[in-house]
Amino acid sequence: MRSAALVLLLALGAGAVAQEPTEIRLWPDGAPGSGHWTVPEAVTTSPGGGRIITNVSDPTLTVFLPDPARATGTAVVIAPGGALRALGFDHEGIAVARWLIERGIAGLVLKYRTRQHVPGAPGGAFPGPGPGRGAAGPRQEITIVRGNANPAPDDAALTEVLQFAVADAQAALALVRRNAAAWHINPERVGIMGFSAGGGVAIGTALAPQSAASPDFIVSLYGPALQDVIVPAHAPPLFIAVGATHFNVTSGCLALFGEWKAAGKPVELHVYDGVSAGFGLNPRGLPVDGWIDRFHEWLVMRQLTGGAKDG
């Protein structure tokens, strides 16, 4: 299995015009800290036809590379959402990677660790559209302190999974930089994009100590921070997009914007009217449909990707 993956990896570096995506294990000797997990990974299909992956214990990175003749040198690790319990792998991962490579940007879809869940066992859904932080009574949004919009801060298991997921994202960023030359990537233009809880994972990589696993830019789509935000000196530029009435999430993203702004770090925020949930690339006939174009314009404006070769 590992030798076959190595052959495919070498083929990616050979610069073929038509390059098939390749899935690479992030921790070939086993992901640290979760070796005792035993629930098998499962894949189901959403009503829209996309894959939903649960019980991830063996994190991977699926590599989509553009034609080398069109490569801009920019790479984006993509962290799908799913409340740290599942991953919307196609809707918030593969579809975005395919959009990026058409514009000369490498798209690398992260399958990070998610909370183990045995069907029928306790441990329900990650709180979101309901009373905040254990409060009883009418629906009420959480109180956000230090930019932390985690709706279940006292859930030790989810806190551990968040730490694992951030470690997986850091491993992915470091892997991209190690392969930068072979993959026609500029190691100073490696960013991360996260959807929903994946946005919280992405933010976690920027809040960690600076290293080869730090992102050069962050894109958070309806993904507020899930931990206290103490913006470090090395914090990269941040792009945020969210619906105007997304319960808990809108306020979390506004707080995240405020923390970045207060720290004097570059940040752009788009809040879309008429949107109360996640949107991905699903067309709605609303201005939110253009969020990914606004993101691309932001990349070009900040000189994080070359505009000349982009489609």
Query: Do 285 and 255 contact (CB within 8 A), yes or no?
Result: no
Give tens-digit pLDDT for 210-255: 999 999 999 999 999 999 999 999 999 999 999 999 999 999 999 9
CA gap 113, 166 in Å, rounded = 9
Phi, psi of 302 (to 5 degrees): -85, 5
Structure pTM? 0.89
Q: What are the structural domain ranges in the chain?
A: 20-133+144-301
Please enumerate in sequence order all residues whose Cβ is within 8 A of that of 236, keeping only pairs 6 or more positions apart, or say none: 191, 206, 214, 215, 216, 217, 218, 265
Does domain 20-133+144-301 bear CATH number 3.40.50.150? no
Give tens-digit pLDDT for 103-127: 999 999 999 999 998 766 554 444 4
- Pick from 273, 278, 198, 193: nearest CA to 236: 193
CA gap 110, 53 in Å, rounded = 12
